[in-house]
Chain A
Amino acid sequence: MKISRVLIANRGEIAVRIIKSLRENNIESVVVVSDVDKNSMAAKLADYVYEIGGQSAAESYLVVDKIIEACKHYEVDAVHPGYGFLSEKLELLEECSKNNIKFIGPKKEAIEVMGDKILSKSKMAAVGVPTIPGFIIESKDLLDPEELLQKVAVIKYPVMIKASAGGGGKGMRRVDSEDSFIESCMSCQREAMSSFSDDRIFVEKFIENPRHIEFQVFGDDFGNIEHINERDCSIQRRNQKVIEECPSPRFSEDLRAEMGNMAIKCAKSVDYVNAGTVEFIVSEKNEFFFLEMNTRLQVEHPVTEMTHKVDLVKEQILVAGGFELSFCAEDKVIKGHSIECRVYAEEPLNNYAPSAGKLLRCTFPQESENVRIDTGVRSLDEISIYYDPMICKIITTGNTRKDAIAYMINAIKDTTIFGVETNLSFLLDILTEDKFIAGEYNTKYLEDTDIVARNKKTNSFNKEVLEALVNFDLELTHHQGVDPFVGQEI
């Protein structure tokens, strides 16, 4: 089919990023906007804008009827769901096919299986992919705590509990003993209910000091399924990713080949079409277990794009249009090293509490072959309480990991965000820490190295900082009308 107009059922940086690829391929873009996003960067860049009203996600980007209404109004050929929101909801896919609109993503069966943590796990175990022992907990199970605790004892503490529906680590908690197990279950249930309207939760054995490694896979309508290598997403706070890189540091060719084949096996078992990601947890002994498959484009897809010189959104549209995958052998080889930092409006020193407000100043470094900025906001835009607090993603690429880190440190220093609290200086403290530099990290990195304490120290307005900025010489201060603070921004 010919795709000449695409609706983006999303907002923020990913909407902007999709518009860019559509434009490069001479495809018209339509974005839907809530009342909050009427003047967003995405709304400004898109060819057409459809106002769906509402403020919260539940009133806007999660309302399938409104999205379909917008599709019909602008007679679009296809819908790109981005990530989050409706990207992994069957309802959108089903309404699209009813209305003869192409959903840019996998087929119904793949979303059905992979969207269910229990079903996906049993399916993967059945085709020979290693999985972690665990089981589901429903509301009624909490009525008999004794029996529940006995069941948990079988898989042994520590265990992890999380929302059964959805992804992104919402509601996820580690529990070390039966003392706090029931209480944690209830808290997890509440978050599951408010985020996904589904209070089922899931408990499983906790793997000590694991790394989180995922494989980018891609399938087409002709049964071709390929993987284009891994991303290491082990640097996480509250089980949400902060820094991702490709390739994974200290990762062997053998393990890459073995896990890559396993990722393809996962995708094949659900006849996977379009872009997807198979997430694995890797133990200290390099044993790996299937975690979940995300049936959409990932937030961190740019590190794969930069190291493989491919455009995953372009490929998604190609495949959705009924063409064959266009990756050649060279496309599947990792070239150089790429790192992504997620810049969040949050306070790392206050338990990563999100920070809302107006961006009084928001400037980024010039983009180049080494520096890529994916963002959906500009100076004077609002980081609203209604959506995810991500401000931008900074992606740097170099010939080596060392180069990529050096580019990243400069890029972060050259970014200025005033008006909300951000994790920018926190990111600097990670990028300059010995273990990170050595590539020796796992998902417990932020706690183990106590980056928060480091950040507290580097952020205090202390003697060193002042010396860097203050030059005690009153004689030189008599320049009338000159603002002493006008420093050059580089």
Chain B
Amino acid sequence: MIKKVYQQIKPELDLSVSFQLHICRKTNCVTVENIVNNETNDEVLKGFLLKQNKSYVYHQDGNKIYIKVEGRYFQFEEVKSYAGLDGDLQGDGVIQSKMPGKILDVLVAKDDLVKKGDALVIMESMKMENTISSPIDGVVTNVYVGSNELVDADQILIEISFLE
């Protein structure tokens, strides 16, 4: 039996519902598990069959799965093991750029104390200004970029550590 585990991308949108898809190719069976409480919600989720009157579109690209149901979109990414998940879920203070662009301003310096939601960096991409804010309360441990610097997608801009 081939078992693949997929985790929903951007589960932070609603922490109360974060799921993993388990895809078993052999039986064409997909199970979905609630990974926040580590409970498998058996009554609701086991099969992944098309109900006759509902339409959906599925697309697989490399390690990602895209599903559209009734105009709603869900993305899943394959994860190699459960072990890595917990660390990711706790959330750390590694601030990355979402897409290539230009840093307009860096509002914090090393050793600054920051609160969740504080503006860290003002960035411009696709002709739009975006403010990147701190996801946690903590202390700035590293600043890797400066004003007017061009950055790539996923480049690490700033690191913040939890306060002990």
Q: Which residues of A contact B (CB under 8 A)?
A: 170, 187, 190-191, 194-195, 238, 349-351, 353-356, 360-361, 385-389, 409, 412-413, 416, 418-419, 422, 424-425, 428, 456-463, 465-474, 476-480, 482-490
Contacts and interface: CB of A to CB of B under 8 A. Distances in A.
B29 interface: yes
B38 interface: no
A287 to B, nearest CB: 32
B74 A477 contact: no
Given A354-B99, A474-B47, A488-B55, A482 B32 contact: no
B54 A412 contact: no
A416 B51 CA distance: 19
A342 B69 CA distance: 21
Interface stretch (B82-90, B110-118, B121-129): B121-129
B130 A466 contact: no
The 5 closest A-B pairs by CB, nearest first: A485-B58, A460-B14, A418-B66, A354-B126, A413-B71
A461 B130 CA distance: 27
A354 B128 CA distance: 8
A355 B10 CA distance: 14
Contacts of B134: none
Given A187-B129, A195-B127, A361 B51 contact: no
Contacts, number: 163
Chain B interface residue number, banded:
35 or more
A485 B56 contact: yes
Nearest to A354: B126
A349 B13 CA distance: 8
10 contacts: A349-B13, A418-B59, A456-B14, A461-B74, A469-B56, A469-B69, A471-B47, A474-B29, A474-B46, A484-B29
Interface of B: 8, 13-14, 16-17, 19, 27-30, 32, 43-51, 54-61, 66-74, 98-101, 104, 122, 124-130, 153
A461 B46 contact: no
A385 B128 CA distance: 11
Nearest to A353: B130
A238 B127 CA distance: 13
